Amino acid sequence: MNNVVLEAQALSKTFNEGLQAVDVLKKVSLTINRGEFVAIVGSSGSGKSTLLHILGGLDVPSSGTVTILGQPLSALNETKRGELRNKHLGFVYQFHHLLAEFTALENVCMPLLLRQSCSVKEAETAATDLLTKVGLAHRLQHKPAELSGGERQRVALARALVTKPDVVLADEPTGNLDHETATEIQQLLQTLKQELGMSLIIVTHDRELAQSADRILTMQSGELLA
């Protein structure tokens, strides 16, 4: 059985700023195995977030390929790429991006309801189960404005995991939190990774979070160093 869930080969990304071309990624290659936790560290502007967005199919490389569970993203149109993201990937951001007018439960239900193959009752059951796992069984009906920063990030984490993704990509998931809350989220990520058997790719400045990874990769001026 192939253990590789995500593979990137020779990824380059160039942005044109006026008359100047800026190489943000330079021939980056990496392989992520099932159940592996990989932390990507590096200074601001080194290309970490750009790499994460390309790995997740949210952006396209100037050259190179990303393959998720044997499917090259470049072979898919935008609709198919969206379907693959919804089915196999989960995303967590530094700023939770929760929908303000919906409750915690409704926010977590959303990815399942977008699939259209899931009933409201099934979605609510799965969302309740995950919100309970992240310690928010008592906050199901609260809207984001009624939750603390750490609670909002827990809801965002539950939303990313509710579809049982093969890979979760997280961009500075603890970057907006105080040290104690960041440590709680870090421990939660580890526990859920083991329980759910998913792979985890995290871009972070948080040394403690990076140290808990199976592998640490460093981005420097658009290149990936082991």
What pLDDT digit, counting tens, does each position of 75-102 carry? 888 888 887 887 888 887 766 678 888 8
Give 46-59 pLDDT, tens digit per residue.
888 888 888 888 88
Give 9-44 pLDDT, tens digit per residue.
999 988 887 778 888 888 999 999 988 989 988 887
How many structural domains compose the chain? 1
Q: Which residues are within 8 A (CB) of 142 and not within 5 positions of it... i.e. 6 or more apart? A: 103, 104, 151
Rounded CA-CA distance 164/115 in Å is: 13
Rounded CA-CA distance 58/201 in Å is: 15
Phi-psi label, residue 182: left if phi above 0, alpha if psi -120 to 50, beta otherwise:
alpha
- Does 132 or 176 have the greater pLDDT score? 132
- Does 18 or 167 have the greater pLDDT score? 167
Supply the pLDDT for residue 9.
92
Give 111-149 pLDDT, tens digit per residue.
888 776 778 888 888 889 888 887 888 888 999 889 887
188: domain CATH number? 3.40.50.300
Give the range of the structural domain holding residue 71, as residue numbers without chain letter.
4-225
Tell me if 171 sits within 8 A of 9, measured CB to CB: no
